[in-house]
Chains A and B, each alone.
Chain A
Amino acid sequence: MRREGAAFIPENPLSMAAVPNMTSQENMAVNNTRKYSRRHGFFIDLDTALTDLERSFENLGMTAPPFLSPIKTLSGGNIQRVIIARELAQSAELIVAFYPTKGLDVLSTTAVRQVLMRFRDSGCGIILISDDLEELFSMSDRLIVLYQGKIAGHFKPEETNMVDIGHLMTGVRGQNG
Chain B
Amino acid sequence: MDNKLGSLLKVPTSKKNMAETLLRYLVIILFTFTVFGLVLFIAGKNPIRAYADTFTSIFGSFYGFSELWVQMIPIMLTAVAVALPSKINLINVGGEGQLFMGGWLATWAALTFQGLPKVIFIPVLMLFGFLGGALWAAIPGLLKAKKLVNETISTLLLNFIAPLIISLSVFGPWRSAESAAYPQTPAFVDAARLPVIPGTRIHLGFIFAIVALILFWFFMKYTKWGLEIRAIGGNPEAAERMGIRLQWYILIVLCIGGGIAGLAGMAEVTAIHGRLRIGLSQGYGYKGFLLSWITGGSPIGILLMAFVFAVITSVGDTLQITQGVPYAVINILFSLILFVVLAKPVLKGKKK
Binding site for B on A (CB under 8 A): 1-3, 8, 15-22, 26, 29-31, 33, 36-37, 41-44
Q: Tell me whether B5 is interfacial, beta carbon within 8 Å.
A: no
B227 proximity list for chain A (CB < 8 A) = 26, 29-30, 33, 44
Q: Once the chains bind, are A43 and B223 in contact (CB under 8 Å)?
A: yes
Contact B241 A44 (CB under 8 A): no
Closest 10 pairs between A and B when the two form their complex, measured CB to CB: A19-B234, A41-B224, A2-B243, A30-B231, A37-B224, A33-B224, A19-B235, A19-B231, A21-B234, A31-B242
Return chain B residues, CB-CB under 8 Å to A42. 222-224
Contacts of A21 in B (CB 8 A): 230, 234
A44 adjacent to B222 (CB under 8 Å):
yes
Nearest B residue to A45 via CB reads B224
Most chain A beta-carbon contacts within 10 A, residue among B222, B227, B228, B237: B227
> What B residues does A26 contact at CB under 8 A?
227, 230
Distance between Cα atoms of A21 and B7 in the complex (Å): 10
In terms of DSSP, what is the predominant structure of the interface of chain B?
helix
Q: Give the residues in chain A near B239, CB-CB below 8 Å.
A: 19, 30
1/0 per residue B205-237: CB within 8 Å of A? 000000000000000001111011011001101
Q: Please, how many angstroms separate the alpha-carbon atoms of A79 and B243 in the complex?
A: 20
- B35 sits at the interface (CB 8 A): no
A19 to B224, CA, bound (A): 15
CA gap between A15 and B241 in the complex, in Å: 11
- Complex interface: chain B residues within 8 A of A22 (CB): 230-231, 234
Within residues 23 to 45 of chain B, which ones have a CB less than 8 A from any CB in chain A?
none
Q: Answer yes or no: B238 CB below 8 A from chain A CBs.
A: yes
Contact of B230 among A2, A19, A36 (CB under 8 A): A19
B124 to chain A, nearest CB (A): 26
A17-B238 in contact (CB<8A) = yes
B residues near A (Cβ < 8 Å) are 222-225, 227-228, 230-231, 234-235, 237-239, 241-244
Q: Which residues of B contact A31 (CB under 8 A)?
A: 242
Given the known inter-chain contacts A41-B225, A43-B222, please indicate yes or no for A15 contacting B242, CB distance below 8 A: no
What are some 16 contacts across the A-B interface (CB < 8 A)? Answer: A1-B243, A2-B242, A2-B243, A15-B235, A15-B237, A19-B230, A22-B230, A22-B234, A29-B227, A30-B227, A31-B242, A36-B224, A37-B224, A43-B223, A44-B223, A44-B224
Minimal Cβ-Cβ distance residue in B for A13: B238
Distance in angstroms from B101 CB to nearest chain A CB is 29
* Residues from chain A with Cβ under 8 Å of B237 in the complex: 15-16
Task: Report chain B residues within 8 Å CB of A41.
Answer: 223-225
Complex: A6 Cα to B238 Cα, angstroms: 15
Q: How many angstroms from the CA of A84 to the CA of B123 in the assembled complex?
A: 50
**Whole-angstrom CA separation of A33 from B235 in the bound complex:** 16
What's the minimum C-beta distance from B14 to chain A, rounded to whole angstroms? 13
Residue contact A2 to B228, C-beta cutoff 8 Å: no
A15 to B228 CA separation, bound complex (whole angstroms): 16
Distance of A30 Cα from B230 Cα, bound (Å): 9
Write out the residue numbers on chain B whose beta carbons fall within 8 Å of the beta carbon of A30. 227-228, 230-231, 239, 242, 244
- Pick the contact of B238 from A19, A37, A44 — CB < 8 Å? A19
**A24 CA / B238 CA spacing, docked (Å):** 14
Say how far A1's CB is from chain B's closest CB, in angstroms. 7
A8 and B240 alpha carbons, distance in the complex (Å): 13
Please measure, in the bound complex, the distance between the C-alpha atom of A33 and the C-alpha atom of B245, giving whole angstroms.
12
When chains A and B are docked, how far (Å) is the Cα of A40 from the Cα of B14?
29
For B10, give the chain A residue with the smallest CB separation.
A21
Closest chain A residue to B237 by CB distance?
A: A16
CB of A88, distance to nearest CB on chain B (Å): 15
Residues of A within 8 A of B234 (CB): 19-22
List, in ascending order, chain A residues with CB within 8 A of B225's CB: 41
